[in-house]
Chains A and B, each alone.
Chain A
């Protein structure tokens, strides 16, 4: 019943982590301290969320002096978004396919010459 791999699912299913991704995207690159300043989480909570995102490959880290800076991994985020949207739209896609079929069936029958 699942489409995303479990790590990716765990990473994006938590609303706080999605919010963290929002803020990180705005910054481009940021330290946990800078992120904690803009989020209603402690610095420790931010670090924990970042660790989960890192395991799922959604962010990467880079050490600069004594700081660790994080950035969003674009390909992985795109994969996650694409998979989720495709799954979420599955019924929508099926209903659209039914619509196309029923409408062409209807048009074909309307234009059928009357039977003798």
Chain B
């Protein structure tokens, strides 16, 4: 089975508003990065400085397809000096669909299997980017709190 990271959310706003939030650099800089050198133009090579919930870290992004207002994708995690393609980067795709007077926004990370990671590295990426067994650890920690006031 192909490894993917996938999440979605329903938003009480029309597709075009969600589209702007996901693609306009000034807005992206507010929900994603602390700095975004970024443009919704296919082929644009930019950077995002991530750091809202972790140590600040600059990652390169390479914008792939831009199909307003339904689909937007970029590649990331490719090392400096290496072009973004299958095998050097992970593909992130946002899709937007109208649903119940609002929008269903889905984000999927694919081509993880092509990264040349060992099974352990792949497991680790998935465990750290999906809810899988993080929940198990959380329950253990809760149990600990409950048993030791």
Contacts and interface: CB of A to CB of B under 8 A. Distances in A.
A81 interface: yes
B22 interface: yes
A95 B114 CA distance: 26
B20 A105 contact: yes
B21 A98 contact: yes
Interface in B102-140: 103, 105, 107, 120-121, 123-125, 127-138, 140
Contact of B134 (A1, A15, A78, A85): A85
Specify the main secondary structure of chain A where it touches its partner: helix
B124 A1 contact: yes
Interface in A77-104: 77-78, 80-82, 84-99, 101-103
27 contacts: A1-B77, A3-B128, A13-B124, A25-B140, A77-B140, A77-B141, A78-B145, A81-B137, A82-B141, A84-B128, A84-B138, A85-B135, A86-B53, A87-B129, A88-B128, A88-B135, A91-B107, A92-B131, A93-B53, A95-B105, A98-B21, A98-B22, A99-B9, A99-B10, A99-B11, A101-B21, A106-B13
